[in-house]
């Protein structure tokens, strides 16, 4: 049954008490799980899974227990007599179609009734209609209320309305933060959510150092943006380094601070080993495919480039070899000009004023490459040139609808005039060109037999481009990651040298192969040398890195990893920064170091780690830790390979740490050169009685009641008497 309480006494009262933000703004959710959306063109649709700006409505109270709903576009919801829903009214006059009655149901939902006596209904296809005379329980007329700023899209607002109805009491909603951080990771844009942002045209949001003033907002679109320029459904700000930051929202062009949220940008976590290994395998496959594509494409490309047009000439003597004895395709003749017929006589103009003669010394094939072919004896008086501007038989007729072949060569527009010696067999072809006045005419000649070689240029260029790109990219990926995690640095350097020589030699080889000038060999020889050496060195380095077997050694307290890396812990007091040094650290941008509880797994690094590229490895620090057993671990490959591990124990309380050199054990004390002692400075002295001794890698740690003395192996001469160490008695 319906609870007959005026909406102004219950519905509006509820929102005045539970919706702390002004104005009173809600979203409407149907029984189909879709939110009502107000489109800019005035349409209403039940089609949104999540409530964002267009799905929120401002509730206005009217006399007589009526309400209105105003969209984010400033338009009122209207109930038309034909049952349609429109959100296109600038005003809501009293008693108009924009006023509704809100009925609270005993199942915790709301029904909206128009002035026409029709209920708002949500159809399954997403349309909204004022067309129902009744609102049965559980029907399409039930509407759930969601507060703006709710931490969940499906709010418990309706249930709290019902509770208010039953008890006559009220409850306050949980205050929602105006700024919610969704993602804050180093190297990625900062994603966030603005709840109830200011709707002024001059409102904006920016990211700040937490200690920066509100005026230190930096450049537009770098550290701040106008809210009007945001995708309000998915706002973000530029990526920032790991550390403390704040997001601040302003209205009035920066005059009024609307909201502020301080937060931490966390460092990006190491790459998952499985993902890293998958990437490495993909890069190796790409490298192999690149080599396979490059091998045949380079000679194809060079051959294709090498068979272009000749230089311009007025006469030519050319040899035909005809290796198969079936005749030759002959020579194509081009002249400078365009395919035009200005005098409209049906003949292309460039054919009218030029005379080309061609003779051949050898035999010739009539009807070549047909069933009627026949070998004919040599006849040097035979004219072997004929007009042909396009395909065979095209002649020079401009009325046939064929367009002559043309080239843009060396800054000139060339057009085909004909072909010479089609079907000629082995022998010498002589070609001359002149105009009708007897003057010389420059022509450009192309070997038709070898013109087919140009068909190799396109596939050669495509394969070489794809293969070269895959080869270079995959090789750099593998050099960065390592073909194997412990690939020797010498192999990596060799691969870099090989790539450099390969990249320099390839263009020289191509240019030298295609050049006809005197500098041909000046480019061809060094290009071939660098290309060959570069390819050999690159492949050899790749093979060496790919075949390198895993090394293992015991380092420090028994860590596995590369023998070359050495870790020295310098200082580890209670809740003080852990100081350490990494000798010969692993290469690559994916190498990192972290501090772990002694019994923690290698993946339990949380936020206690740093990329090696971001620290000074000779004097590095990690966050201070509490009393207990800890370990520092160095990894490469984003955490895939452990290079070094040193375990140590942090004792409760703080002691001064002093380094000593030239030290020796004397009874229950240590004597040596103190370095930067807080009281004695740099001088030779004896310590107080030693109460504890531990060893961490090649460093000894001697404890007195108030001081810790740190001594390297090479700086300590042990002189102990008796069967038991004095610190154990």
Banded pLDDT at 163 (limits 50, 70, 90): very low
Give strand pairing partners of 226.
Answer: 204
Banded pLDDT at 513 (limits 50, 70, 90): low
Average pLDDT over residues 44-49: 86
State pLDDT tens for residues 688-717. 888 888 877 677 888 888 888 888 888 888
What pLDDT does residue 460 have? 65
What pLDDT does residue 431 have? 95
What pLDDT does residue 723 have? 45
State pLDDT tens for residues 273-320. 556 666 777 777 777 777 677 666 666 665 555 446 788 899 999 999
Banded pLDDT at 149 (limits 50, 70, 90): low
What pLDDT does residue 52 have? 82
Torsion of CA 532, 533, 537, 543, to 10 degrees: 30
Other CB atoms within 10 Å distance of the CB of residue 348 = 23
pTM of the predicted model over 0.75:
no
What pLDDT does residue 471 have? 72
Spatial separation of the C-alpha atoms in residues 205 and 102, rounded to whole Å: 37
Residues 6+ apart with CB under 8 A from 698: 568, 712, 713, 714
Average pLDDT over residues 70-99: 87
Helix (H) or strand (E) holding 68: strand 66-71
Query: Sign of torsion, CA 540 542 546 550?
Result: positive
Please check the confidence at residue 548 and state whether its pLDDT lies above 70: no
Can you spell out the DSSP letters for 475-502?
HHHHHHH-SSTT--HHHHHHHHHHHHHH
State pLDDT tens for residues 226-240. 888 877 667 888 888
User: What whole-number percentage of the chain has pLDDT above 90?
Assistant: 10
Please check the confidence at residue 218 and state whether its pLDDT lies above 50: yes
| Lowest mean pLDDT across 20-29, 229-238, 266-275, 367-376 | 266-275
Q: Please indicate whether residue 465 or residue 39 has the higher confidence score (pLDDT).
A: 39
Average pLDDT over residues 368-374: 88
Spatial separation of the C-alpha atoms in residues 30 and 111, rounded to whole Å: 10
What pLDDT does residue 418 have? 93
Pairing of strands 716-717, 656-666: parallel
Among 96-110, 169-183, 547-561, the range with the most confident prediction by mean pLDDT is: 96-110
Banded pLDDT at 84 (limits 50, 70, 90): confident
Helix (H) or strand (E) holding 259: strand 256-265
What pLDDT does residue 485 have? 46
193, two tokens: 């959510």
Q: Please indicate whether residue 519 or residue 28 has the higher confidence score (pLDDT).
A: 28
With CA atoms as reference, report the closest residue to 587 among 608, 562, 569: 562
What pLDDT does residue 159 have? 41
Query: Sign of torsion, CA 565 566 572 577?
Result: negative
Kindly state the greatest CA–CA separation across the chain.
124
188, two tokens: 């990625």
| Lowest mean pLDDT across 77-81, 273-277, 282-286, 326-330 | 273-277
Banded pLDDT at 393 (limits 50, 70, 90): confident
With CA atoms as reference, report the closest residue to 218 among 229, 230, 207, 204: 207
Other CB atoms within 10 Å distance of the CB of residue 346 = 11
Among 259-273, 308-322, 526-540, the range with the most confident prediction by mean pLDDT is: 308-322
Please check the confidence at residue 591 and state whether its pLDDT lies above 70: yes
Banded pLDDT at 377 (limits 50, 70, 90): very high
Average pLDDT over residues 546-550: 44
639, two tokens: 């955490």
Banded pLDDT at 268 (limits 50, 70, 90): low
| Lowest mean pLDDT across 80-89, 169-178, 603-612 | 169-178
| Lowest mean pLDDT across 369-383, 498-512, 557-571, 598-612 | 557-571
Please check the confidence at residue 201 and state whether its pLDDT lies above 50: yes
With CA atoms as reference, report the closest residue to 405 among 395, 396, 416: 416
What pLDDT does residue 299 have? 62
State pLDDT tens for residues 410-466. 888 999 999 999 999 999 999 999 998 888 999 999 887 666 555 555 666 677 677
What pLDDT does residue 420 have? 94
Spatial separation of the C-alpha atoms in residues 134 and 139, rounded to whole Å: 9
Mean predicted lDDT score pLDDT of the chain: 76
Yes or no: say if 107 and 137 are a contact pair by the CB < 8 Å rule: yes
Yes or no: say if 624 and 640 are a contact pair by the CB < 8 Å rule: no
Spatial separation of the C-alpha atoms in residues 346 and 369, rounded to whole Å: 32
Average pLDDT over residues 129-140: 79
Average pLDDT over residues 40-62: 85
| Lowest mean pLDDT across 327-341, 446-460, 463-477 | 446-460
Banded pLDDT at 19 (limits 50, 70, 90): very low
What pLDDT does residue 92 have? 85
64, two tokens: 């007589």
What pLDDT does residue 111 have? 86
CA atoms within 13 A on the CB side of 208: 19
Banded pLDDT at 569 (limits 50, 70, 90): confident
> DSSP code of 458?
H
State pLDDT tens for residues 621-652. 888 888 888 899 998 877 678 888 888 888 77
Please check the confidence at residue 517 and state whether its pLDDT lies above 70: no
Measured between its terminal Cα atoms, the distance across the chain in Å is: 87
Other CB atoms within 10 Å distance of the CB of residue 507 = 12
Banded pLDDT at 564 (limits 50, 70, 90): low
Give the distance, in angstroms, between the CA of residue 693 and the centroid of all CA atoms in the same chain. Answer: 51
What pLDDT does residue 174 have? 37
What b-and-e string marks burial along 43-55, b requiring 16 or more CB atoms within 10 Å of the CB? ebbbbbeebbbbb
Spatial separation of the C-alpha atoms in residues 228 and 558, rounded to whole Å: 59
What pLDDT does residue 509 have? 66
What pLDDT does residue 164 have? 35
């Amino acid at each position: 049954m319906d609870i007959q309480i005026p909406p102004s006494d219950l519905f509006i009262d509820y929102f005045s008490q539970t919706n702390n933000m002004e104005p009173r703004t809600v979203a409407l959710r149907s029984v189909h799980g879709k939110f009502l959306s107000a489109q800019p063109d005035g349409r209403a649709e039940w089609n949104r899974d999540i409530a964002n700006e267009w799905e929120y409505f401002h509730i206005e109270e009217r006399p007589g227990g009526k309400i209105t709903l105003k969209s984010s576009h400033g338009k009122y919801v209207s109930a038309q007599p034909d049952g349609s829903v429109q959100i296109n009214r600038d005003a809501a006059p009293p008693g108009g179609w924009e006023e509704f009655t809100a009925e609270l149901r005993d199942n915790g939902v709301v029904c909206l009734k128009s002035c026409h006596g029709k209920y708002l209904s949500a159809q399954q296809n997403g349309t909204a209609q004022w067309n129902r005379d009744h609102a049965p329980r559980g029907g399409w007329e039930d509407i759930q209320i969601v507060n703006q700023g709710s931490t969940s899209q499906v709010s418990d607002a309706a249930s709290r309305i019902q509770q208010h109805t039953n008890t006559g009491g009220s409850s306050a909603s949980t205050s929602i933060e105006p700024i919610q951080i969704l993602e804050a990771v180093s190297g990625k844009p900062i994603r966030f959510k603005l709840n109830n942002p200011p709707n002024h045209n001059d409102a904006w949001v920016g990211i700040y150092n937490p200690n920066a003033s509100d005026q230190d907002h930096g450049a537009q679109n770098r550290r701040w943006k106008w809210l009007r320029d945001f995708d309000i459904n998915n706002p973000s700000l530029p990526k920032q380094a790991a550390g403390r930051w704040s997001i601040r929202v302003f209205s009035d062009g920066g005059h009024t601070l609307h909201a502020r949220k301080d937060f931490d940008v966390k460092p990006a976590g190491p790459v998952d080993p499985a993902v890293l290994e998958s990437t490495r395998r993909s890069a190796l496959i790409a490298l192999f495919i690149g080599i396979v594509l490059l091998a045949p494409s380079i000679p194809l490309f060079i051959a294709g480039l090498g068979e272009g047009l000749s230089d311009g000439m007025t006469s030519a003597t050319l040899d035909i070899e005809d290796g198969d004895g079936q005749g030759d395709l002959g020579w194509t003749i081009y002249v400078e000009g365009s395919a035009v017929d200005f005098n409209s006589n049906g003949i292309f103009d460039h054919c009218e004023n030029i005379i080309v003669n061609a003779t051949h010394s050898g035999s010739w094939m009539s009807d070549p490459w047909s069933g009627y072919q026949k070998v004919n004896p040599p006849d040097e008086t035979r004219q072997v040139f004929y007009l042909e501007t396009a395909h065979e038989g095209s002649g020079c007729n401009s009325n046939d609808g064929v367009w002559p072949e043309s080239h843009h060569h060396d800054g000139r527009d060339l057009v085909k005039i004909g072909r010479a010696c089609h079907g000629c067999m082995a022998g010498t072809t002589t070609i001359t060109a002149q105009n009708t006045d007897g003057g010389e005419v420059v022509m450009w000649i192309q070997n038709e037999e070898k013109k087919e070689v140009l068909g190799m240029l396109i596939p050669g260029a495509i394969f070489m481009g794809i293969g070269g790109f895959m080869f270079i990219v995959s090789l750099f990926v593998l050099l960065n990651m390592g073909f194997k995690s412990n690939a020797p640095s010498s192999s990596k350097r060799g691969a870099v040298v090989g790539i450099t020589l390969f990249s320099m030699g390839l263009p020289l080889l191509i240019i030298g192969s295609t050049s006809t000038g005197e500098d041909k060999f000046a480019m061809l020889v060094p290009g071939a040398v660098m290309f060959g050496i570069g390819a050999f060195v690159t492949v050899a380095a790749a093979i060496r890195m790919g075949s390198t077997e895993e090394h293992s050694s015991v380092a420090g307290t028994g860590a596995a990893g590369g023998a070359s890396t050495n870790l020295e812990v310098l200082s580890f007091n209670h809740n003080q920064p852990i100081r350490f040094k990494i000798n010969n650290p692993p290469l690559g941008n994916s190498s990192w170091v972290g501090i772990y509880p002694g019994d923690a797994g290698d993946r339990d690094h949380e936020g206690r780690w740093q990329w090696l590229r971001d620290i000074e490895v000779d004097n590095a620090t990690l966050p201070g830790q509490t009393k207990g057993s800890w370990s520092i671990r160095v990894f490469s490959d984003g955490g895939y390979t452990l290079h070094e591990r040193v375990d140590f124990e942090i004792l409760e309380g703080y002691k001064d740490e002093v380094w000593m050199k030239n030290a020796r054990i004397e009874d229950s004390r240590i004597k040596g050169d103190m370095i930067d002692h807080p009281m004695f400075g740099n001088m030779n002295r004896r310590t107080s009685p030693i109460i504890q001794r531990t060893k961490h890698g090649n460093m000894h740690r001697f404890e007195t009641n108030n001081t810790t003395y740190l001594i390297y192996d090479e700086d300590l001469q042990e002189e102990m008497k008796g069967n038991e160490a004095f610190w154990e008695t």
